[in-house]
């Protein structure tokens, strides 16, 4: 059937039937967009984010500065610690309720994509021209928030994921320097297990954390070109490189290089384990310095980071972007864009301690965040592959996590897992 | 002498519309917050709405036809059935036994009652977090205890494998749901006249016979309430699963409620997810009808 309806139209119609014409008029049956009509212009803005306690104060201080300069009043609401599994739901509900924020923070790729495709996020092309963001912001990062050719977001963070380790546990295992090849990494894992230390702390609840290991293994076995093609469905997953990656993935669990029962562990619990001395390292990004190391009142000097060795050229790590979108129904789009422009100024980024800014001149301060600065200097310019939970839509990402789960439980063999992945990706690519 | 008194007929104020006028405010609230959303949901289940866009297409019953072919729905229905049977039977039996024990001569009854009922008033997310820590394979109290007493072989990644995850989530569900039937049964037990037991004793009935022929029949109204409310509670299962396993590992602990949520809120398949919600509602209504009928019969 091809009849098309608008959600508001239906709501209006049924309201009229149920409650009479007077009440239906209140619900606005004639509007053609979800979540209510365009809000009126005012000096009040609302920004929705997922900053945690360690960073929300810095953001609020900068927003206050913007308000003072522009005569606006901006409310900052945050849903900390929820991750990409919950935050987009809350945002979506707010938008459909007609009281969505004027500006919201969001991840790029397939997490931000639905908001752009549903036209809940404003096309920001004219603001890109007005503020010259194209020349100020990292081009690859802008690509991560461009959907079907429409620039729907302004990236301010381009985060790389690597290994963050506890130096004392490496020393306990007799490891004096980070590994530079995959074979060396495996040798490090063996040495750590031999002294009773679990090497890599990752949690499988939600799927996305333990996925960071598999995507690294896939980069190691498939290499950059093939990996990129696999993510878009341009090449079949049913191939030896993928089977090898799944085989290695299982090996990491079987050799106890992952915590026991990793599949059930919550990433929020497991990630700080390397700081607490329960695991030797984890796979995470530069935010961990503020969120795990400094929050635990530990010295950054006791920890280190390194890019996971892929043995491939160019050396790449997993990465993703985060940025801001503007509500398509906001009556304050100009002021919202001005707020975003203020946020992506190098001075603001530095004041907010942004660890991997997309803006030149906002590199992390080595005095306050030495490890983030070190990562930025050593690996910040290396290319990255799209983190896999942003490469696939949520449904396909969950199916993919399910395959990983079955593999680690021994319910499917690596070759069957590869075939299953091919079914999932090809079905998505065709849709 | 017979006297005839003429009774003048008093006109009824408001006439036959009076009851409706009194019921109107409640009816309006009911229509606005229950009937209207329910009708909306029914409609959206017949569309391909993604839950975010302004437009959608009418797809008839397509979403319903897809349900039996969705392997996760099959898993979810099976899990719902297991969950319903276990989380009704076990807490009800334990609750009844506790109520009988507490109805006797036991020291510290109020404190014991409080201890047994406390889990029922704790926030579910807190319970999920607490039990998540208890189940932690490496550092959790359960596995640590098993290792301490030499049962290392029984230490498991309880929430991390398909074979144990659902059962592991049911344990805290049973723990928190035992207090409610216990309280209801306790109240009902205190309402059974002592004379019945005295008469049974005089007739030579053993304690066991008294339980089956005096206590259990007297508890029939309480059984109805406990079973009906537990049944509805079991069908609504969502929060424990969501907070403890997020439907995993993989999709092994998905139930209809969580799968509906995933489709509507995470996969941008609001039409399909709403069809799942409609099915859950229809099943809940079907199993709720006998309870409503029994209550109506009793009232009349």
ipTM, interface predicted TM-score of the complex:
0.81
- What is the pLDDT at residue B201? 93
Q: What are phi and psi of A46, to 5 degrees?
A: -130, 130
- What is the pLDDT at residue A16? 43
Burial class (CB in 10 A: 0-12, 13-18, 19+), A135: exposed
**Which range, of A241-250, B57-66, B226-235, averages the lowest pLDDT?**
B226-235
Placement of tokens 């093939």 in the chain: A226
3-class SS of residue B182? helix
> In this structure, is residue B12 part of a structural domain?
no
Start-end of H helices in A255-319: 267-270, 273-276, 287-288
**Is A395 touching B (CB cutoff 8 A)?**
yes
> In this structure, is residue A246 part of a structural domain?
yes
**Shared domain check, A214 and A254:** yes
**Shared domain check, A144 and A112:** yes
The reply to whether omega before A314 is within 30° of 0 (cis) is yes
The three-state DSSP-derived secondary structure of A119-183 is: CCECCCHHHHHHHCHHHHECHHHHHCCEECCEECCEEEEEEEEEEEEEHHHHHHCCCCCCCCCHH
CATH code of B261's domain: 1.10.3720.10
How many separate domains does chain A show?
Answer: 2
Q: Mean pLDDT across the stretch B182-193?
A: 93
**Is A331 touching B (CB cutoff 8 A)?**
no
The reply to whether omega before B249 is within 30° of 0 (cis) is yes
How many separate domains does chain B show?
Answer: 1
Please give the span between the terminal C-alpha atoms of chain B, in angstroms, as a whole number: 42
pLDDT grade, residue B113 (50/70/90)? confident
> In this structure, is residue B88 part of a structural domain?
yes
- pLDDT by residue for chain A (431 residues), tens digit each? 445 555 555 545 444 444 333 323 333 333 333 455 666 778 899 999 998 887 899 999 999 999 999 999 999 999 986 666 678 888 998 998 888 999 999 999 889 999 999 999 999 999 999 999 999 998 889 988 999 999 999 999 999 999 999 999 999 999 999 999 999 999 999 999 999 999 999 999 889 999 999 999 999 999 999 999 999 899 999 999 999 999 999 999 999 999 998 998 989 899 999 999 999 999 999 989 988 999 899 999 999 999 999 999 999 999 999 999 999 999 999 999 999 999 999 999 999 988 889 998 888 888 888 999 999 889 988 888 999 988 899 899 999 999 999 999 999 999 999 999 999 999 888 77
> In this structure, is residue B76 part of a structural domain?
yes
**Shared domain check, A217 and A128:** no
List the domain range (segments joined by +) for residue B130: 47-299
Strands A279-284 and A44-49 turn out to be: unpaired
Which residues face B61 on adjacent strands? none
**Is A263 touching B (CB cutoff 8 A)?**
yes
The DSSP letter of residue B265 is: I
CA nearest neighbour of B262 among A93, A266, A89: A89
Higher confidence at residue B73 or residue B3? Answer: B73
Residue from B38, B47, B55 to probe the interface with A (highest A Cβ count within 10 Å): B55
**Shared domain check, A196 and A260:** yes
Inter-chain contact A263–B40, Cβ cutoff 8 Å?
no
- What is the pLDDT at residue A389? 87
> In this structure, is residue A34 part of a structural domain?
no
Cβ-based contacts of A405 with chain B (< 8 Å) = 248-250, 252
**Is A405 touching B (CB cutoff 8 A)?**
yes
Residues 6+ apart with CB under 8 A from A331: A38, A39, A40, A41, A42
List the domain range (segments joined by +) for residue A94: 44-159+319-379
State how far the Cα of A419 lies from the Cα of B201, in Å rounded to an integer: 71
Q: Mean pLDDT across the stretch B167-188?
A: 94
- What is the pLDDT at residue A227? 96
Cβ-based contacts of A259 with chain B (< 8 Å) = 137-138
Start-end of H helices in A20-149: 21-27, 53-70, 87-96, 109-117, 125-131, 133-136, 139-143
Q: What are phi and psi of A249, to 5 degrees?
A: -55, -45
Q: Mean pLDDT across the stretch B16-37?
A: 91
**Shared domain check, A277 and A175:** yes
- What is the pLDDT at residue A25? 30
> In this structure, is residue B18 part of a structural domain?
no
- What is the pLDDT at residue A99? 84
CB-CB contact of B271 with B59 (8 Å) = yes
> In this structure, is residue B268 part of a structural domain?
yes
Joined together, the tokens standing for residue A168 give 């004392």
Q: Mean pLDDT across the stretch B110-125?
A: 88
**Shared domain check, A396 and A260:** yes
Cβ-based contacts of B136 with chain A (< 8 Å) = 261, 265, 269
3-class SS of residue A166? strand
Length of chain A as a residue count: 431
Rounded to the nearest angstrom, the gap between the alpha carbon of residue A50 and the centroid of all alpha carbons in its chain is 11
Higher confidence at residue B128 or residue A98? Answer: B128
């Amino acid at each position: 059937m091809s009849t098309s309806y608008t959600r508001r139209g239906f709501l209006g119609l049924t309201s009229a039937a149920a409650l009479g014409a007077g009440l239906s008029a209140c619900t606005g049956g004639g509007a053609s967009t979800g979540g209510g009509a365009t809000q009126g212009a005012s000096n009040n803005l609302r920004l929705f984010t997922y900053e945690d306690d360690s960073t929300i104060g810095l953001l609020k201080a900068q927003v206050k500065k913007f308000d003072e300069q522009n005569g606006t009043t901006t409310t900052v609401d945050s849903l900390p610690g929820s991750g990409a599994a919950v935050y987009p739901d809350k945002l979506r509900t707010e938008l459909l309720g007609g009281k969505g924020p004027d500006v919201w923070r969001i991840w790029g790729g397939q997490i931000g994509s639905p908001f752009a495709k549903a036209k809940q996020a404003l096309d920001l092309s004219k603001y890109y021209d007005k503020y010259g963001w194209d020349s100020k912001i990292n081009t690859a990062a802008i690509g991560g928030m461009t959907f079907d050719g429409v620039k729907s977001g302004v990236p301010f963070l381009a985060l790389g994921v690597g290994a963050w380790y506890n130096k004392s546990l490496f020393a306990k295992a007799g490891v004096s320097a980070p590994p530079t090849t995959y074979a060396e990494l495996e040798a490090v894992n063996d040495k750590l297990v031999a002294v009773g230390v679990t090497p890599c702390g990752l949690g499988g609840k939600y799927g996305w954390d333990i996925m960071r290991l598999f995507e690294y293994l896939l980069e190691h076995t498939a290499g950059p070109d093939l990996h990129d093609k696999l993510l878009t469905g341009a090449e079949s997953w049913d191939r030896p490189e993928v089977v090898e990656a799944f085989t290695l993935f299982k090996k990491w669990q079987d050799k106890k290089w992952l915590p026991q029962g990793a599949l059930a562990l919550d990433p929020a619990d497991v990630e700080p384990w390397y700081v607490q001395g329960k695991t030797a390292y984890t796979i995470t990004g530069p935010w961990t310095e503020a969120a795990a190391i400094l929050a635990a009142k530990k010295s950054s000097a006791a920890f280190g980071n390194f890019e996971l060795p892929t043995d491939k050229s160019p050396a790449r790590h997993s990465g993703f972007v985060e940025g801001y979108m503007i509500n398509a129904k906001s009556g304050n789009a100009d002021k919202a864009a001005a707020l975003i422009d203020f946020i992506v100024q190098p001075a603001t980024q530095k004041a907010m301690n942004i660890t991997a800014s997309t803006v030149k001149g906002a590199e992390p301060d080595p005095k306050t965040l030495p490890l983030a600065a070190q990562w930025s200097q050593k690996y910040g310019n290396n290319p990255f592959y799209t983190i896999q939970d942003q490469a696939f839509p949520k449904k396909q990402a969950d199916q993919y996590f399910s395959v990983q789960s079955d593999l680690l439980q021994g319910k499917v063999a690596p070759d069957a897992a590869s075939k299953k992945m091919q079914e999932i990706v090809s079905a998505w690519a065709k849709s | 002498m017979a006297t005839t008194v003429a009774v003048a007929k008093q006109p009824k104020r408001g006439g036959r519309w009076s009851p409706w006028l009194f019921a109107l405010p409640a009816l309006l609230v009911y229509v606005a917050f229950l009937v209207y959303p329910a009708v909306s949901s029914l409609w959206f289940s017949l569309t391909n709405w993604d839950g975010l866009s302004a437009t959608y297409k009418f797809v008839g019953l397509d979403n319903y036809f897809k349900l039996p072919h969705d392997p996760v729905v099959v898993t979810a229905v099976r899990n719902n059935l297991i969950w319903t049977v276990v989380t009704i039977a076990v807490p009800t039996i334990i609750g009844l036994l506790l109520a009988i024990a507490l109805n006797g001569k036991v020291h510290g009854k109020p404190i014991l009652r409080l201890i047994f009922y406390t889990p029922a008033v704790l926030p579910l997310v807190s319970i999920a977090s607490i039990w998540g820590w208890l189940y932690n394979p490496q550092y959790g109290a359960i596995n640590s205890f098993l290792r301490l007493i030499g049962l290392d072989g029984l230490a498991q990644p309880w929430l991390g494998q398909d074979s144990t995850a659902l059962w592991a989530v049911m344990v805290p569900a049973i723990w928190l749901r035992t207090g409610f039937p216990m309280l209801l049964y306790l109240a009902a037990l205190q309402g059974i006249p002592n004379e019945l037991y005295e008469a049974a004793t005089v007739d030579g009935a053993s304690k066991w016979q008294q339980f089956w022929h005096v206590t259990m029949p007297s508890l029939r109204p309480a059984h109805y309430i406990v079973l009906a409310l537990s049944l509805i509670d079991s069908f609504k299962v969502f929060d424990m699963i969501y907070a403890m396993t997020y439907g995993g590992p993989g999709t092994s602990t998905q139930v209809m409620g969580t799968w509906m949520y995933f489709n509507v809120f995470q996969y941008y398949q609001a039409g399909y997810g709403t069809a799942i919600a409609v099915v859950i509602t229809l099943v809940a209504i079907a199993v709720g009808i006998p309870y409503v009928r029994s209550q109506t019969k009793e009232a009349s």
